[in-house]
Structure 1
Amino acid sequence: MKDSNILLQVEEMKTVFKTRAGILDAVDGISFSISKGETVAIVGESGSGKSVSALSILRLLDSNGEVASGKILFNNLNLKDLSKDEIRKIRGNEIAMIFQDPMTCLDPVYTVGDQIIETIKIHEDLSKKEYRERALELLKLVGLPDPEGRIDAYPHQLSGGQRQRVMIAIALACRPNLIIADEPTTALDVTVQAQIMQLLKDLQSQFGTAIILVTHDLGIVAEMADKVVVVYAGQVVEESYVKDLFNKPEHPYTEALLKSIPKIDTDRNRRLQTIKGNVPTLREIPSGCRFHPRCPLAAEKCKSEEPPLFKLDKNRVSKCWKADPVLERKWEIPVSIEEGETVFQDNEHLISKQKLLDVTNLKKYFPITKGILSRTSGHVKAVDGVSLDIYKGEVLGLVGESGCGKSTVGRLITGLINSTDGEVTFDGKKLSGVTRKTLKELRKRVQFVFQDPYSSLDPRMTILDIIGEPLEVHNLAKGTAKIQRVAELLELVGLDKNEMHKFPHQFSGGQRQRIGIARALATEPDLLICDEAVSALDVSVQAQILNLLKDLQLKMGLSYLFISHDLNVVKYISDRIAVMYLGEIVEVTDSNTLFKKPLHPYSQALISAVPIPNPNIEPNRLILSGEVPSPSNPPSGCKFHTRCRFANDICKNKKPNLIAISEEHLVSCHLYGEEGEHG
């Protein structure tokens, strides 16, 4: 019996890719349904088949991929059997897609208005004036600031959040019944992410649109989804309503995913639970239950027999033998997993309060040049008077929206770019005007861990050469000594020393990030600058890397400047946190205080925007109005006053100083100065 409310029914869908190595099953018998006005989230690690499942529905696969079997019933029409012309009429008109990275999906040579109009033209015949009016109406609908001015803008002239709004406008152009959103907020700041999620909710309630949300962010799932489909190695392993799934996960994979997320209330002294190993490749699918090599509950039966999807109740299924009502065995997680060594030891390196880095009034202005003679017409004030310090063995988190200058601060500290003004003092030595030899010595003691472990590792070099390169540059080891040191470093970061002759593409994302950390540790540095070092990783791999960074901090007395836009991660790993806005530090305090009692209105908005991976908690959002102003033309007075709910005349005219509210809490806001109400 079919529910008349069901919009899309996917039945035993199998997607294959033809490769030189043979036919690979990327999606192997996935089934789920979505009703009108419902949001279904598809979750799982990278390589589990989430995106391929979404692309299969609209038949947007690469030329070597096809939906080999099963049914994709949309309003009882099987999309699998449609011709290319027939499926084109469905795409955009009845089912639309929002992709992850709006910059690569929008055409850089056409205005955003033209790109919206192009979508409407495929399905509707209107006059030129009507096309433009519809495009303008859509830009207003998705809340793009100044739509009349922006309709003729090119993608590069818009911010990331604005580009994503344009992508949503294109998706809504023909008022589809179903939107497939593939990681729609992954590349966005937490504040913009909150705006986009609220926008999707509002549009859904307004038009009754169904949404398939493909994501690995369980905080967004908890907030947006009605139902959740958990996929692993191309198969559905659990499906449930969102509250049931979070309150009592049935499949060990779902439970492990939920436990590996750092939350705002996670104890910083406790290890994050990790999932051993990686998602199997399509060429190496295990026999029996596909999750058994990584499962703490795996028994002999799991290794040899593949479990069916057990129906636990009307709305819940689990592909695990522990859900079999016939088996009476108690499936309890072994003691070693739950208890074991789960607490980090005390950080003895912080007791001495020995200052390692002192940054004072640091500035970096990039000139804006115009004309044939490249005359300077203004400056982009990327970093505008930043002061901060880091103690030996301490982690200082640096947070703020994209474009606030976080990464520039990291590059200024290492001397990768020269400062316009200010002073950096490292271990008691001022770095302004130092010789090249002294600067080389600094770079030995201060190392970078980059965001993307794939682009930061040379694909033509072996791991031995990648990690060994800094050893040779700084004359630390050559020949046999270098090989021995690389082996030690690989073991230190939890990799097999026998794999040093492999190339980066032969490792997973998490393993590549470990290689990046090993390279950074090669020179035995005192300070690591981690620039979004875990943002490109799955939650399970992220947990492994965060545990590793904490272990290295305690073992070697390392200090970190941890730059990130993921506040849950920053809260977990940082001892203190500095909040940055438009090139300036607006608040500094210890991580617990910042999240319990943020003082600056910007800090309050940032923290309120963090998605909470708990569907039982209703978030209390402080949605920021407007966009981040341009650093080339920042507002007068307090730079945040254009978006602040407390702003008054003094904020518009006078810049607040960074003052101490208590010994460990600094804030730059007139609410706490002589002019405002203290506290």
Structure 2
Amino acid sequence: MKTVFKTRMGVVEAIAGVSFHISKGETVAIVGESGSGKSVSALSILRLLDSNGEVTSGKILFNQLNLKDLTDAEIRKVRGNEIAMIFQDPMTCLDPVYTIGDQIIETIKIHEDLSKKEYKERAIELLRLVGLPDPESRIDAYPHQLSGGQRQRVMIAIALACRPNLIIADEPTTALDVTVQAQIMQLLKDLQSKFGTSIILVTHDLGVVAEMADRVVVVYAGQVVEQSTVIDLFEKPEHPYTEALMRSIPRIETDRNRRLQTIKGNVPSLKELPSGCRFHPRCPLASEKCGTEEPPLFKVGEGRESKCWLAGRDLKVKREAADKEEESDEAVTAFESNKHLDDQQLLLDVKNLKKYFPITKGILSRTVGHVRAVDGVSLDIYKGETLGLVGESGCGKSTVGRLITGLIKPTAGEVVFEEKHLSKISRQDMKQLRRRVQFVFQDPYSSLNPRMTILDIIGEPLEVHNLVKGKEIQKRVGELLEIVGLAKSDMHKFPHQFSGGQRQRIGIARALATEPDLLICDEAVSALDVSVQAQILNLLKDLQVKMGLSYLFISHDLNVVKYVSDRIAVMYLGEIVEVTDSETLFNEPLHPYAKALISAVPVPDPKAEPDRMILTGEVPSPANPPSGCKFHTRCPFAMDICKQEKPELRTISEGHTVSCHLYGKE
């Protein structure tokens, strides 16, 4: 299959001869970095390309029917009926002005002629099938009234509406919490075993691939570079790109004091593809031949293919030699975990912090209730330390970060930064505080002004805080760009001229401009590919060593949090439920919620059989939280006392505190 797009610069070949197959009841994963052609391959199958895109050659055979040659009317009969698609972001795919019931019924109406009552019964049956609670009443709900996990379940219900033989799932769990992700993965497995549905899974999460897939297709720059069964691929990758992707993943067992392996450079532009092997400019094992001759797709065993001149040879020996050179060039000593915090200076002390947002009603906007976003959070951060803050979406993690920086005012409680109380300092002192506490946001593109050059973006805080003036600004911006691994010449470019990882580096450079003591990283790597994510995590660790920075690292990716954090605070529905060092939390979690989060982490090993503790139900509304322990409605160990009495945050051992009646005074 070959797919091209017509642009102002000419015709761009996005997919260059991709070939793979899928059998009934099988799951095939398509993996690779952003820009490799994963989603375009999936969209090409259903002919859902933009108007300037076209499948120009090859065949797309579905039960001997060539989808490439079908008319628009004929392909519409296949979409949703025989082949369905689950998109990455359900909020942008669901119509906000129609109920979820109407949107499910609409799909059924296109392909089946039923009565009004039968349409509704089928919709309720589908919602019940995907595990949406109380489907009889939820059928009349609008998308904004559902959580992210519930919206994704609705998307799956729409995909299953006509019982298709093939489902294409494009990053179906990327934006979800680990607990919801585990539920969605289990749901897809159950549906597959029940109906014998085939699944094409498009993702860059190799943990999900290991648990879900039977076979894997690795794509790079519009080409298939490796195909294999999932077990063979993880045991012995045959292409350097596949191996490099796997080595980039931070795992729970990864040594915090070692650098993550990275893939240098970026996926090449489709307008300027390198000669020979398309991966050779980034490959540590490349030879002269790789730069001049494009390798064919070699067969290296039953059902295995690799597009590499080294196919069939042992990459491990060559890789170890390359690693030794790399380690000698880039040796770094990361901060050791389990530091003696008593010997360190306290930087930030948060005491019983609360933030209630009013719920207003009527013309007079009368307050009828409050959303308890943060409900009594206490934590501390020492100089040179990284504190991880984890929990599901909506638990109040980002609000805590904004309260610490003074971007929003607390309802109650106190934030003390180097013995200065935020509520008592002057406006000038607050300006000084914001210079010393900086934010690195989740989406670097939306946090960078597209109309400003990088020089203006990074130079702005230097001017605001009178740190550098005149021509010295340009010099300082150049230094900051070099610190984060970019070139001085990049300062004259605009944000859209950079990749996602480069934009995140610019966001970090901007945060470093004011020479802060504390960086609040709010999901700073969650939207990045594993290869780029490894680069940013290495950068953050290097900066911590060089500059003595402290981090509050907010994330729902527990593998990343484990690798980067000295201590971890687990948050649920506005409250801290457990705090300890990262090793202890992952080896001996005490709170049932912490146990559930850790058990839900996808393991990048297809032979592993994780003992999952799947949480039932959704996170309760912070506007009407449960009495007693807020987690008791979902806790498998809940007792009567949990429903009536709120547990205190108690010290169980040195540096380990937990809020749970299972560890009470008794």
The one of 29, 36, 59 aligned to 1:71:
59
Instruction: Describe the SS at the equivalent of 1:33.
Output: coil
**1:563 equivalent in alignment to 2:554:** yes
Counterparts of 1:44 and 1:436 in 2: how far apart (Å)?
49
Distance change >3 Å, CA 175–CA 442, structure 1 → 2:
same
Superposition map of 1:101-500 within 5 A: 101-323=89-311, 333-337=321-325, 339-340=327-328, 341=330, 344-346=333-335, 352-500=343-491
Counterparts of 1:182 and 1:206 in 2: how far apart (Å)?
21
Deviations 1:373-424 (A, max 9, x none): 1110000000000000000000000000000000000000000000000000
Deviations 1:445-473 (A, max 9, x none): 00000000100000000000000000000
Superposition map of 1:516-555 within 5 A: 516-555=507-546
Contact 1:598–1:604 (Cα < 8 Å) also in 2: yes
Post-superposition offset of 1:345: 4.4
Post-superposition offset of 1:69: 0.4
Contact 1:399–1:565 (Cα < 8 Å) also in 2: yes
TM-score, length-scaled by structure 1: 0.96
Counterparts of 1:332 and 1:380 in 2: how far apart (Å)?
54
**1:27 equivalent in alignment to 2:15:** yes
Deviations 1:53-97 (A, max 9, x none): 000000000000000100000001100000000000000000000
Contact 2:285–2:318 (Cα < 8 Å) also in 1: no
Per the alignment, residue 503 of structure 2 pairs with 512
Distance change >3 Å, CA 144–CA 533, structure 1 → 2:
same
**1:98 equivalent in alignment to 2:86:** yes
Counterparts of 2:142 and 2:33 in 1: how far apart (Å)?
34
Deviations 1:603-648 (A, max 9, x none): 0000000000011111110000111000000000000000001101
Counterparts of 1:374 and 1:178 in 2: how far apart (Å)?
50
Per the alignment, residue 662 of structure 1 pairs with 653
Per the alignment, residue 646 of structure 1 pairs with 637
Post-superposition offset of 1:434: 2.0
Instruction: Describe the SS at the equivalent of 1:639.
Output: coil
Superposition map of 1:11-50 within 5 A: 13-50=1-38
Deviations 1:25-59 (A, max 9, x none): 00000000000000000000000000000000000
Contact 1:350–1:393 (Cα < 8 Å) also in 2: no
Counterparts of 1:337 and 1:602 in 2: how far apart (Å)?
43
Q: State the AA in 1 paired with 2:376.
A: G
Q: State the AA in 1 paired with 2:653.
A: S
Counterparts of 2:505 and 2:627 in 1: how far apart (Å)?
44
User: Percent identity among equivalent residues?
Assistant: 82
Instruction: Describe the SS at the equivalent of 2:281.
Output: helix
Deviations 1:319-376 (A, max 9, x none): 0000168x9x978752545643455245699784110000000000000001111110
Per the alignment, residue 6 of structure 1 pairs with none
Per the alignment, residue 613 of structure 1 pairs with 604
Instruction: Describe the SS at the equivalent of 1:113.
Output: helix
Counterparts of 1:291 and 1:322 in 2: how far apart (Å)?
13
Counterparts of 1:250 and 1:350 in 2: how far apart (Å)?
45
Distance change >3 Å, CA 410–CA 195, structure 1 → 2:
same
Counterparts of 1:431 and 1:163 in 2: how far apart (Å)?
39
Instruction: Describe the SS at the equivalent of 2:259.
Output: coil
Counterparts of 1:333 and 1:81 in 2: how far apart (Å)?
50
> C-alpha root-mean-square deviation of aligned residues, in Å?
1.5
Counterparts of 1:296 and 1:213 in 2: how far apart (Å)?
29
Instruction: Give unmatched runs, 5+ long, in structure 2.
Output: none
Q: State the AA in 1 paired with 2:153.
A: R
Contact 2:170–2:201 (Cα < 8 Å) also in 1: yes
Per the alignment, residue 10 of structure 1 pairs with none
Instruction: Describe the SS at the equivalent of 1:485.
Output: helix
Instruction: Describe the SS at the equivalent of 2:552.
Output: strand
Post-superposition offset of 1:487: 0.7
Superposition map of 1:567-606 within 5 A: 567-606=558-597
Contact 1:322–1:331 (Cα < 8 Å) also in 2: no
Distance change >3 Å, CA 65–CA 316, structure 1 → 2:
same
Instruction: Describe the SS at the equivalent of 2:150.
Output: helix
Contact 1:296–1:333 (Cα < 8 Å) also in 2: no
Per the alignment, residue 52 of structure 1 pairs with 40
Counterparts of 1:163 and 1:187 in 2: how far apart (Å)?
12
Q: State the AA in 2 paired with 1:471.
A: L
Instruction: Describe the SS at the equivalent of 2:22.
Output: strand
Post-superposition offset of 1:433: 3.1
Q: State the AA in 2 paired with 1:424.
A: V
Distance change >3 Å, CA 118–CA 345, structure 1 → 2:
closer
Contact 2:204–2:530 (Cα < 8 Å) also in 1: yes
The one of 607, 620, 625 aligned to 1:634:
625
Instruction: Describe the SS at the equivalent of 1:135.
Output: helix
Contact 2:627–2:646 (Cα < 8 Å) also in 1: yes
Post-superposition offset of 1:313: 1.3
Deviations 1:592-611 (A, max 9, x none): 00000000000000000000
Counterparts of 1:212 and 1:376 in 2: how far apart (Å)?
49
Deviations 1:117-174 (A, max 9, x none): 0000000000000000000000000000110110000000000000000000000000
Post-superposition offset of 1:654: 0.2
TM-score, length-scaled by structure 2: 0.98
Distance change >3 Å, CA 115–CA 417, structure 1 → 2:
same
Distance change >3 Å, CA 335–CA 149, structure 1 → 2:
closer
Counterparts of 2:413 and 2:576 in 1: how far apart (Å)?
14
Distance change >3 Å, CA 319–CA 575, structure 1 → 2:
same
Instruction: Describe the SS at the equivalent of 1:59.
Output: coil
Q: In the comparison of the two structures, how many residue pairs are matched?
A: 662
Counterparts of 2:341 and 2:594 in 1: how far apart (Å)?
26
Counterparts of 1:345 and 1:258 in 2: how far apart (Å)?
22
Distance change >3 Å, CA 662–CA 67, structure 1 → 2:
same
Deviations 1:572-600 (A, max 9, x none): 00000000000000000000000000000
Dislocated runs of 4+, deviation >3 Å: 329-333, 335-339, 345-352
